[in-house]
Chains A and B, each alone.
Chain A
Amino acid sequence: MKKMLPESELARDERFVRTKIEDRIFDPRGPKIAQRNTGPARMGVDRPAAGERSRSLMHGIFVGEIQALEGAGRTCYDFDDDTAPFQLKLDMARQCWDESRHCEISVKLGDHMGTEIGEYTESTFLFAAACNPDPVFRLCGVNRALEGLAIDVFSSMKEFGNESGDPILEFCEDWMLADEVTHVKMGSDWLRRLTETDPDRRERALEFQRTVDAIFNLGGFRGEDDENPIQLARDFRRLAGFSDDENDSLAALARESTEQAREMAAMATAALDASAQGS
């Protein structure tokens, strides 16, 4: 079996339909919606389409967990003993178990919310972020950036569960949150150990992490305002080992992304209007 599996070869059954992130970015309705008041994007029972938003996010979490499981599994296989220490691979194997469990939890939560597997499309850019040939970069991209995002997502869902009085959602998200804090710590610990004598490699890995972070801030998906569906979970991030500086940096990046999304939407709307007038 070859090493370094590309995202195009991720195996799925017929229920899963893949889309590219560009499909959403270039959807002509995007700029129109960006100019409208569709209410706070932050999850809440009194927000428009609360049920549908939470179902759609839950399915997104589910496919994300599958990719996280696949990513951890590939890290067990892709590197020989010289490139990735035995203990690192043990930690990745442990992460496989955790992510497998998260898939199971997500499936049950999907049942609870009335979602079906494959009801929504899947984007594989999460696995793509895990495809780096350098194990240190992979740890930064997956265990610090993506698992950090998972902390934010699960914290937001947990809050939603609490606000809506849903004991099952709150319970499950809290358990998964505990695991994600562990995963981030694993990533932080290994980053430190593997780059102890190579600060340049560490800096490049952290740069890769910032790139992945930026992708997931796209369109204002994450931030600290009501217009961000996912809220930055500073307390849990701190517990996971992110410094206040790192969290502040991420928040600033998120604000920048939200602003960029607004500007792009305005530009696109203007372009569409000009084109309509011209024709």
Chain B
Amino acid sequence: MTRITVTPNPFTLVPYDVGEITALVEEAAALAGLPPGVDIDLTVDEELFAPLTGHMSDVVDGRVVLWISGGNFEDNRRPCHFSADQARVDLAVMMLRANDRLSDDFAAAPPDAELSRGERAAWDTYAVGRARALGIDVRRPRQLYDFRLQHGFTDVADAAFDRCWEARSITWDGIREICKETGATDRAPSKVPVDLLRQK
């Protein structure tokens, strides 16, 4: 049986409900096809608000370890209010990536904190595209813009985006190939750690 842990419990800065979040995590795990019996730890950084958004999905000792900014769950039109719709999208993407990590196809993938921004953008696109296919209401232009920021505003990058978006099966090597193709691999390493927001 899957054990789901949400931190903090309870929330003290924003009126998010741990029970509601737990149910959404369970829903996302089922949608992503996460094997039963894999425990899930979700940390919500309730200090962060939009636009300081972001999320990370890792597998540590067989457990799915997730981190997300509280801003991702926040209703942009009603500050400090929880948005189940927004949470559903991000949790689905996180679970799909976690499930990828559990598979052999992504066995060689480093932890999220060590991914380059290009690799992360490509992997996210692959996950968001699958979320859409599973019936989650996502916005393609939004994901395209995020992809282009890391891979360039070029025809090559757009073609790579389309492949990631439509793909139902990519491997970690495939992600790296895409980054080589678009030139994301050639970008200078970022001076700002990709997991800066997670660091306290």
Q: How far, in whole Å, are A123 and B162 apart by their CA atoms in the complex?
A: 37
Interface residues on A, range: 35 or more
The verdict on A6 contacting chain B, using a C-beta distance below 8 Å, is: no
Provide the residues of chain B in CB contact with A53, threshold 8 Å: 51
Chain A residue nearest in CB terms to B190: A46
| Chain A facing B: main interface SS | loop
Q: How far, in whole Å, are A112 and B141 apart by their CA atoms in the complex?
A: 7
The verdict on B49 contacting chain A, using a C-beta distance below 8 Å, is: yes
Q: How far, in whole Å, are A49 and B195 apart by their CA atoms in the complex?
A: 10
The verdict on A198 contacting chain B, using a C-beta distance below 8 Å, is: no
Does the CB pair A29–B14 fall under 8 Å?
yes
| Chain B facing A: main interface SS | loop
Size of interface on B: residues with Cβ below 8 Å to A:
41
Minimum Cβ distance to chain A for residue B39 (Å)? 28
Chain B residue nearest in CB terms to A40: B192
Does the CB pair A114–B51 fall under 8 Å?
no
The verdict on B97 contacting chain A, using a C-beta distance below 8 Å, is: no
Minimum Cβ distance to chain A for residue B153 (Å)? 5
Return the CB mask of B118-144 against A: 1 if under 8 Å, else 0. 000000000000000000000111111
Tally the A-B contacts, defined by beta carbons under 8 Å: 106
Contact pick for B80, options A27, A51, A52, A167, CB 8 Å: A27
Q: How far, in whole Å, are A168 and B145 apart by their CA atoms in the complex?
A: 12
The verdict on A118 contacting chain B, using a C-beta distance below 8 Å, is: yes
Contact pick for A29, options B47, B78, B196, B199, CB 8 Å: B47
Does the CB pair A52–B50 fall under 8 Å?
yes
Chain A residue nearest in CB terms to B152: A165
Contact pick for B52, options A27, A33, A51, A166, CB 8 Å: A33
Q: How far, in whole Å, are A116 and B117 apart by their CA atoms in the complex?
A: 25
- Within 23-63 of A, Cβ neighbours of B (below 8 Å) are at 23-24, 27-29, 32-33, 36-40, 44-53, 55-56
Does the CB pair A51–B149 fall under 8 Å?
yes
- Within 10-26 of A, Cβ neighbours of B (below 8 Å) are at 17, 19, 23-24
Does the CB pair A38–B196 fall under 8 Å?
yes
The verdict on B197 contacting chain A, using a C-beta distance below 8 Å, is: yes
The verdict on A164 contacting chain B, using a C-beta distance below 8 Å, is: yes
Minimum Cβ distance to chain A for residue B31 (Å)? 23
Q: List 8 A-B contacts (CB under 8 A).
A: A28-B13, A36-B200, A48-B192, A49-B54, A49-B69, A49-B197, A55-B142, A114-B140
